[in-house]
A and B are shown apart, each in its own frame.
Chain A
Amino acid sequence: MILGQARGMRRALTAALLAGTLTASGTLVSATARADDYFTPLPDVGKHSWCYASGFNQETPAINSMENVEDQTVVDTKYESACDSATDVKWFEKPTSFFSVGEFGRTECKDRQNALPERCDNWYVYLNMSLINSSTYPTVQRRQTVCHELGHTLGVRHYSHPGSLYGYTTCMVSGEAEVGSGSWYKKYDQHHVTAHINPWFNQP
Chain B
Amino acid sequence: MNKHLTDRPAHRGVHPRVVLAVVACLTLTGCATTTPQAPTTASAPSAGNRPAVDAAMLRPPGTTVDFQPYPSVAAAVDASTYAVTGTITRWLPGRTVAAEDDGALDRSLFAVLEVSVTSDHGQTAAPQTLEVEVRRGQDTADSEGRQTTDEDERGFMYRTVDELQAAAPPGTRVVVIATAAPSTKQLEGEGNLVDVPTEGARPDVTLVRPLPQGLLLEAADGTLVSGVGELPDVLVGDWPGAQDPTHATFDALLAALGAHH
Q: A interface vs B, CB < 8 Å?
A: 34, 39-41, 53-54, 83, 94-95, 97-114, 117, 120, 124, 145, 148-149, 152, 157-158, 160-161, 164, 174-176
Contacts and interface: CB of A to CB of B under 8 A. Distances in A.
B236 A53 contact: no
Contacts of A176: 68
A110 B104 CA distance: 13
Q: Is the interface of B mostly helix, strand, loop or mixed?
A: mixed
A132 B261 CA distance: 31
Contacts of A40: 62
Interface string B147-184: 00010110011000000000000000000000100100
Contacts of B70: 102
Nearest to A145: B66
Given A53-B102, A100-B228, A160-B232, 12 more contacts: A34-B232, A100-B67, A102-B67, A103-B65, A104-B67, A106-B63, A108-B62, A110-B138, A114-B153, A148-B66, A158-B66, A160-B69
Interface residues of B, number: 40
Given A54-B102, A112-B153, A175 B66 contact: yes
B60 interface: yes
B238 to A, nearest CB: 12
B131 interface: no
Given A54-B102, A114-B150, A160-B233, A106 B64 contact: yes
A148 B100 CA distance: 25
B101 A175 contact: no
Contact of A101 (B79, B99, B232): B79
Contacts of B69: 102, 160-161, 174-175
Contact of B179 (A101, A124, A152, A161): A101
B108 interface: yes
B140 A101 contact: no
A10 to B, nearest CB: 20
30 contacts: A41-B62, A83-B102, A97-B186, A98-B108, A101-B212, A102-B67, A102-B68, A102-B70, A102-B212, A103-B65, A104-B67, A106-B64, A107-B64, A108-B60, A108-B138, A109-B62, A109-B156, A110-B106, A110-B140, A112-B153, A114-B150, A117-B156, A120-B62, A124-B106, A148-B66, A152-B64, A157-B64, A158-B64, A160-B69, A160-B232
Contacts of A112: 62, 153, 156
A14 B182 CA distance: 43
A39 B64 contact: yes
Nearest to A164: B236
Nearest to A40: B62
Given A109-B156, A114-B152, A160-B236, A175 B68 contact: yes
B179 to A, nearest CB: 6
